[in-house]
Structure 1
Amino acid sequence: MGTCGSSLTPDEKQALSKSRSIEEKNANDHARDEMTIKLLLLGAGESGKSTIFKQMKLLYGKGFSDDDRRDWIPKIHMNAISAMRDLCSAVTRLGLEQKVLDQTAFAHMLDITERTELTSEISGPIKSLWSDPGILEVWDRRSEFQVIESNELYFRKIEQISARGYLPTDEDILASRVRTCGIVEETYVIENVEFVIIDVGGQRNERKKWIHCFDNVNAVIFVAALSEYDQMMFEDETQNRMLDTLLLFESICNSRWFQKTAMILFLNKRDLFAKKIMKKALTEVSEWHDYNGKSCDYDEGVNFFLQKFLEKNQQKNKDIYTHVTCATDTENVKVVFNASKDIILKFNLEASGFM
Structure 2
Amino acid sequence: MATCFYSPDEQEAIRRSRQIDKQLQQERRSLKQEIKILLLGAGESGKSTFIKQMRILHGSDYSEADRLDFRHTIYHNMLKGTKILVEARRRLQIPLQNSKNQENGKAISSYHREGELSDEDFQPYVTPLDELWKDAGIQSTVKRSNEFQLGDSLTYFMKNIQRVGLLGYLPSREDVLHSRKATRGIHEYNIDIRGVPFRFVDVGGQRSQRQKWFQCFDEVTSILFLISSSAYDQTLLEDRVTNRLVESVNIFDTIVNNRCFRQVSIILFFNKTDLLIDKIKEKSIKDYFPEFPGNPRKLGDVQDFLVSMFNSVRQDKTQEMYRHFTTATDTGNIKVVFNIVKDTILTKHIQDIMQI
The residue that corresponds to 2:20 in the other structure is none
**1:234-279: CA deviations, max 9, x gaps?**
0011100000000001111111221100110000000001100110
The residue that corresponds to 1:11 in the other structure is none
Match of 1:161 among 157, 160, 164: 164
Q: How many residues align?
A: 323
The residue that corresponds to 1:18 in the other structure is none
**Post-superposition shift, 1:351?**
2.8
**1:149-182: CA deviations, max 9, x gaps?**
2121111111211211111111100001100000
The residue that corresponds to 1:51 in the other structure is 49
In 1, Cα distance between the equivalents of 2:105 and 2:97? 11
In 2, Cα distance between the equivalents of 1:315 and 1:284? 31
**Post-superposition shift, 1:106?**
2.0
The answer on whether the counterparts of 1:100 and 1:135 sit within 8 Å (CA) in structure 2 is no
The residue that corresponds to 1:95 in the other structure is 93
The answer on whether the counterparts of 1:127 and 1:155 sit within 8 Å (CA) in structure 2 is yes
The residue that corresponds to 2:231 in the other structure is 228
Matched, 1:309 2:307: no
Question: How high is the TM-score relative to the length of structure 1?
Answer: 0.87
Question: How high is the TM-score relative to the length of structure 2?
Answer: 0.87
Q: Give the counterpart letter for 2:72 in structure 1.
A: P
The residue that corresponds to 1:26 in the other structure is none
Q: Report the 3-state secondary structure (helix = DSSP H, G, I; strand = E; otherwise coil) of the residue aligned with 2:209.
A: helix
Q: Which runs of 5+ in 2 are unaligned?
A: 1-28
Alignment of 1:140-151 (within 5 A): 140-151=143-154
The residue that corresponds to 2:59 in the other structure is 61
The residue that corresponds to 2:323 in the other structure is 322
In 2, Cα distance between the equivalents of 1:136 and 1:174? 24
C-alpha spacing 1:254/1:107, structure 2 compared with 1 (3 Å): same
Alignment of 1:148-227 (within 5 A): 148-227=151-230
**Post-superposition shift, 1:188?**
1.1
In 1, Cα distance between the equivalents of 2:204 and 2:261? 19
Kindly, what percent of the aligned residue pairs are identical? Answer: 36
Alignment of 1:126-145 (within 5 A): 126-145=129-148
The residue that corresponds to 2:104 in the other structure is 105
In 1, Cα distance between the equivalents of 2:321 and 2:330? 23
Matched, 1:292 2:290: no
Match of 2:71 among 53, 73, 77: 73
Q: Report the 3-state secondary structure (helix = DSSP H, G, I; strand = E; otherwise coil) of the residue aligned with 1:177.
A: coil
In 2, Cα distance between the equivalents of 1:348 and 1:257? 16
Q: Give the counterpart letter for 1:257 in structure 2.
A: C
